[in-house]
Chain A
Amino acid sequence: MKLRIFHLIAIVILVLSILSCEASAAAGIPYITYNYDYWGDVYYTPAAYVPSGNLSGDSLGVGAFKSPQDLYVAEDGRVYIADTGNNRIVVLDASLKVERIISEFTNQGSVDTFSAPTGVFVTNRNEIYIADTGNFRVVALTEEGLLHRIIENPTSEVLDDDFVFAPLKVAVDYADRVYVVSKNMFQGIMAFDEKGDFTGFTGTIKVTITLYEKIWRRLSTKAQRQRQVKFIPTEFTNVDIAPDGFVYATNYDPDGKQSVRRLNPRGQDIIKKKKDGSLSGDLYWRLGREYSGPSRIIDVVYRGKGIYSILDMTRGRIFTYDHEGNLLYIFGGKGSQTGTFKNPTAIDMKDRKILVLDSHTNEIVTFESTEYGRLIDEAVSLRFEGDEASAVELWKKIIQWDSNFELAYSGIGKAYLAAGENKTAMEYLKLGMDKEYYSIAYKRYRDEILKENLGTILTLLVLVVLALLVRSAVMRHRKKEAVDVE
């Protein structure tokens, strides 16, 4: 009898442990997914993207990558990897099989090679631009691998005489203007025209000095001032180009306020930001120990329809924003499990998958969207196109996944507003924390109420006026009587 009970308990424990194993496997995403609400509080969300496999140099059959620094997905679906340590560019075809390896090219009749290529970019005419950092030049090759042009030794009066041109990242727009992020270049992104001449800087970041720093500087002596750190703007870390020619550029912001910029052809930042909002990944961070400090944004990918994702090196997270600066979802993390990073360096998008290059594990981690992520992407795309009506069904599905998603509520609210259901619209817009549209809905609702009850209100008003008139007449009469009596 005793033995049987023991057996029973053992079986129960076994079953329970199997069940719990399954449960954890279902939630087996190696990172936490969360978002920030209107008040800046963290809330947990379903995962928008989940890891879906790794690609390493070995698995591709080209030998392990050696600290690869950049990755670019061309319009035709080819993937270009700047295998920095091996001084080569690995090209994968659209089905992620190795197509070829570029490690040398013919330059004026002789064979030329790369030295630590850190950046790669491919135009829509399949010209390959390579930031050949170790050779201090940008090399552009045609699709066949022939030399197209070389950009080196930029000369200009705005550049110091001892300036060394060490390009790190490169991007090219539809007019063949080349944007280069260069090492130790604080003045901005270097722009070159189609002939390869340096035309100037674009997107210069203004230095901001706080009042405290100003006072401190005023109080310190000249010798002290020389020893203090100079106030220099932060360096850009990466560039991407949207099809319309606008440049998305990332930079490291120690204040954690804005790490991504959208530069127009004049070099002005025109990115949209929410009121008091941040475009810099995490809103809060630890000050000491591991994974501390603000998000260090090192790459950006423009994903179309106003959506862009930025990659944070500090905590290995990917933050995705829409064209208005709303944070859509966060995923990714550092660690040693599959699907996490050690030292992520580049991000790009292929079909619906997100590829992240890790320069420490020498692998590409791929992510695919879940139902939740797909719904958000689609709804936001529809919203970007101004088709709010078709987005409503998607927003409704999204709040079944994540009942805290404010953008969804405001999307539904706007649809109700358009349909004339002002009261319901008010409810949803309030949940979506959309004060602007809430006000519009409220005004219409208020007008409705007033219009319906206009008769009653006017009658009441007339009655009150009449009552007052009668009262004053009676009073006058009584006073008169009193005087008369006297």
Chain B
Amino acid sequence: MNKEKLRFPFYILFHPFDGFYELRHREKGSLIVAVLLVFLFGLSFTLNRKYAGFVVNELNPLYVDSLTDVLGVGIAVLLFSVANWSVTCLMNGEGRFKDIFMVISYSMLPMVLTFIPATILSWFIAADEESIYYLIKAVAIVFFIALLLIGIMTVHGYSFGKTLLTMLLTFIAAILIIFIALLLAYLVTQIISFFRSIYTELIIRV
């Protein structure tokens, strides 16, 4: 792992068009860095949920499960990548699966950088100052969405309108994937229970 690859997400932060172009065509990105970023985002996401200050925390900290949160973020990113890849494949997108995954994770950098500082800040604010905290979080999320749109646009070589359209289709595809996954899981449990009952039958009879 060289230093340049580690620094590249920060380059993208302020040069998104050039950055994502180089990510796609000059192999500047790194899968390891991407996975690391997703993990870091999951971590900061769950830390924010669990340890945000009393004044701003709307969740019962007892009900926040860090493992579920981190895994959930990972699965959401994978789901979105798969959905986007399957849509863009049919719509002449130039990006490979790897690129889509990297775009999503590299776009998460603003959130990774701000969520933990925002959490720490939230310990030191009173009720009428909470807008600072929410502003920081909102800016990070807007930054993420902007980077994601630019990234998807650049990597696939789309126009802006087409990017929005593919985003919409991606959401539909994601819902379809969830539906099929649930269906599959149900079928598999059915098959397992079928073989298990055959097994019990045999054990008892033979």
Contact = CB atoms under 8 A, between A and B. Distances in A.
A430 B54 CA distance: 7
Interface residues of B, number: 8
B126 interface: yes
Interface string A425-453: 00000100001101110110010000000
A39 interface: yes
Interface in A22-64: 39, 41
B186 interface: no
Given A430-B54, A435-B54, A435-B55, A442 B126 contact: yes
Contacts of A446: 124, 126
Contacts of B128: 439
Given A438-B54, A439-B55, A442-B126, 15 more contacts: A39-B63, A41-B60, A430-B54, A435-B54, A435-B55, A436-B127, A438-B55, A438-B127, A439-B126, A439-B127, A439-B128, A440-B126, A442-B55, A443-B126, A446-B126
A438 B125 CA distance: 11
Contacts of B63: 39
B183 to A, nearest CB: 25
Contacts of B55: 435, 438-439, 442
A41 B60 CA distance: 10
Interface in B32-65: 54-55, 60, 63
Interface of B: 54-55, 60, 63, 124, 126-128
A451 to B, nearest CB: 16
A396 to B, nearest CB: 22
Nearest to A41: B60
B90 to A, nearest CB: 31
B114 to A, nearest CB: 23
A438 B128 CA distance: 12
A448 to B, nearest CB: 13
**Contact residues of A: prevailing secondary structure:** helix
Nearest to B54: A430
Contacts of A438: 54-55, 127
A446 B125 CA distance: 9
A430 B127 CA distance: 13
B49 to A, nearest CB: 14
A39 B60 CA distance: 7
A147 B128 CA distance: 61
Contacts of A436: 127
B71 to A, nearest CB: 24
Nearest to B53: A442
A302 B55 CA distance: 34
**Top 8 closest pairs, chain A to chain B, by CB:** A439-B127, A439-B126, A39-B60, A443-B126, A442-B126, A435-B55, A430-B54, A435-B127
Nearest to B124: A446
B1 to A, nearest CB: 34
A41 B54 CA distance: 18
Contacts of A435: 54-55, 127
B91 to A, nearest CB: 30
A54 B4 CA distance: 84
B150 to A, nearest CB: 34
Contacts of B54: 430, 435, 438
B56 to A, nearest CB: 9
A454 B128 CA distance: 24
10 contacts: A41-B60, A435-B54, A435-B55, A435-B127, A438-B127, A439-B126, A439-B127, A439-B128, A442-B55, A443-B126
Contacts of A442: 55, 126
Contacts of A439: 55, 126-128
Interface in A396-439: 430, 435-436, 438-439
Interface centre among B54, B55, B126, B127 (most CB of A within 10 A): B126
A41 B126 CA distance: 26
Contacts of A41: 60
A435 B126 CA distance: 9
Contacts of B126: 439-440, 442-443, 446
Contacts of A39: 60, 63
A17 to B, nearest CB: 39
B165 to A, nearest CB: 24
A41 B55 CA distance: 20
B57 to A, nearest CB: 9
Contacts of B124: 446
Contacts of A440: 126
A71 B124 CA distance: 55
Contacts of A430: 54
Nearest to B61: A39
B54 to A, nearest CB: 6
Nearest to A38: B60
B125 to A, nearest CB: 8
B119 to A, nearest CB: 16
Which of the listed residues A41, A438, A439, A440 has the most CB atoms from chain B within 10 Å of its own CB? A439
A182 to B, nearest CB: 43
A124 B55 CA distance: 47
A301 to B, nearest CB: 33
Contacts of B127: 435-436, 438-439
A331 B63 CA distance: 28
A438 B127 CA distance: 8
A438 B122 CA distance: 14
